[in-house]
Amino acid sequence: MTTAAGATAQKTPLLQHAPLPDMLLQALRRDNEVVDFHALTDTAFRERASEFEILLTNGEDTVTRERMRSLPALKLIANFGVGYDGIDVQTAAELGVRVTNTPDVLTDDVADLALGLLLGASRQIPAAQGFLESGAWAGGGFAWTRRVSGSRLGIVGMGRIGEAVARRASAFDMAIRYFSRRAKPGVGEGYEPSLMALATWADALVVCLPGGGETKGLVDAKVLQALGPRGILVNVGRGSVVDEDALIRTLHAGELGGAGLDVFASEPHVPQELQGLPNVVLTPHIGSATWQTRLAMSTLVVENITAFQQGLPLVTPAA
Ligand code: NAP
């Protein structure tokens, strides 16, 4: 940064704690010095720890109590992503550290992918392509699959993404019901306070829940069995919400019809048992990964940091 007098002002150091897109880093570097936490030696970190007021992270990272306490000047954690279950928000509140995230701008992309995974798993689109490319078509047609249009959709977590999934699903003439902790005012779809009852009713469940202790393992073996041998589970929320071992067991036992998964219990590890199944479609956590959305998310991170630095209200405070 160059001042009116022509002198070069000191740039503000920001601590980058997780991978972030180049376009975001470039935008931040105009007025700040971005310091990669993982490139610092322990000694270098200790020497500089008291310089950082702002920590940059992403939705898949973990920011522990210990990390926050090791940064005595910390005042803001700017998260690139809407989900911030990896941040210990209780400690952040205790220490007076604000947290921002990037809601809304990614909602449509994640909902698009949810519908893609539902169609992909129900109609077995990747398996059908594999069948065609293997030359098997010459020996007869691909096995019949199951219809999506007009079927029953259970949305698990009727937040921003859940509502966007519901809007898309209604264009497929689907009957829609949803589960969350409480009925959402203004939502036309039926509220189902029991996840088991929703799974029993539905032909497909789309999980749009945040991660964290409260939702861990909510979709367990019983829920998957209630969804049943013709049911499809889609997860675009967090991998921790689904009991992955139970998912593998029910899929292999034929107790669940199929799955479309963008998120996994311990990313980037994806159990071998989930791979190579015709009724399972897997994507590597790409819900918000389009150029348009990643640009919008980057802009929102910069806006939050700028607002903080100028003493203005945060644009999208998460906690
Ligand atoms: P949101 O608007 O906050 O919606 C979350 C919904 O979950 C709320 O309606 C909430 O309803 C419900 N909920 C929260 N805790 C619950 C619990 N313990 N039991 C039952 N329901 C609960 O968030 P969003 O913007 O839709 O995003 C949802 C999640 O999607 C994010 O947190 C993130 O984990 C995930 N995500 C994934 C990707 C991807 O790339 N795949 C991208 C973006 C986001 P109640 O408060 O009424 O319970």
Q: What is the pLDDT of residues 130-163, one digit of tens each?
A: 999 999 999 999 999 999 999 999 999 999 999 9
What percent of the chain stands above pLDDT 90?
A: 96
The string of pLDDT tens digits covering residues 96-128 is 999 999 999 999 999 999 999 999 999 999 999
DSSP 154: E
Residue whose entry in the numeric block shows the structure tokens 């700028």: 306
Contact 204, 154 (CB under 8 A): yes
Residues 91 and 139 in one domain: no
Residues 69 and 100 in one domain: yes
pLDDT range class, residue 7, cuts 50, 70, 90:
very low
Residues 80 and 147 in one domain: no
Q: Which residue CA neighbors atom 30 of ligand 1 most closely?
A: 237
In whole angstroms, give the CA distance from residue 226 to residue 223.
5
Q: Identify whether 2 is part of a domain.
A: no
Mean per-residue pLDDT of the chain: 96
Q: What is the CATH number of the domain that holds 133?
A: 3.40.50.720
Ligand 1 centroid–CA 129 distance in Å is 32
Domain count of the chain? 2
Ligand 1 centroid–CA 159 distance in Å is 6
Residues 152 and 274 in one domain: yes
Q: Which residue CA neighbors atom 8 of ligand 1 most closely?
A: 159
Q: Identify whether 319 is part of a domain.
A: no
Residues 53 and 161 in one domain: no
Ligand 1 centroid–CA 29 distance in Å is 32
The per-residue pLDDT for 10 is: 86
Ligand 1 pocket list (CB less than 6 A): 82-83, 103, 106-107, 110, 157-162, 180-182, 208-211, 214-215, 236-238, 262-263, 285, 287-288
Residues 53 and 198 in one domain: no
Atom of ligand 1 nearest to the CA of 161: 26
Atom of ligand 1 nearest to the CA of 162: 26
Ligand 1 centroid–CA 161 distance in Å is 7
Residues 149 and 246 in one domain: yes
The per-residue pLDDT for 4 is: 47
Q: Identify whether 258 is part of a domain.
A: yes
The per-residue pLDDT for 6 is: 43
Q: Identify whether 314 is part of a domain.
A: no
Ligand 1 binding pocket mutation candidate from 60, 82, 238 (most atoms within 8 A of CB): 82
Q: Identify whether 7 is part of a domain.
A: no
Which CA distances in Å does 119 have to 170, 205, 216, 241, 254? Answer: 14, 12, 26, 21, 19
Q: Identify whether 63 is part of a domain.
A: yes
pLDDT range class, residue 42, cuts 50, 70, 90:
very high
What's the pTM?
A: 0.96
In whole angstroms, give the CA distance from residue 268 to residue 98.
28
Residues 259 and 138 in one domain: yes
Residues 125 and 83 in one domain: no
Mean pLDDT of 60-66: 97
Which amino acid type is present at position 212? G
Cβ density class 82-118: b for 16+ within 10 Å, e for less: bbbbbbbbebbeeeebbbbbbbebbbbbbbbbbbbbb
Q: Identify whether 115 is part of a domain.
A: yes
Q: Identify whether 119 is part of a domain.
A: yes
Residues 269 and 249 in one domain: yes
Atom of ligand 1 nearest to the CA of 236: 41
Residues 86 and 139 in one domain: no
Residues 58 and 191 in one domain: no
The string of pLDDT tens digits covering residues 290-301 is 999 999 999 999
The per-residue pLDDT for 75 is: 98
> What residues are labeled active site?
238, 267, 285
Q: Which residue CA neighbors atom 9 of ligand 1 most closely?
A: 159
Whole domain around residue 150: which residue ranges?
Answer: 107-282
The per-residue pLDDT for 2 is: 45
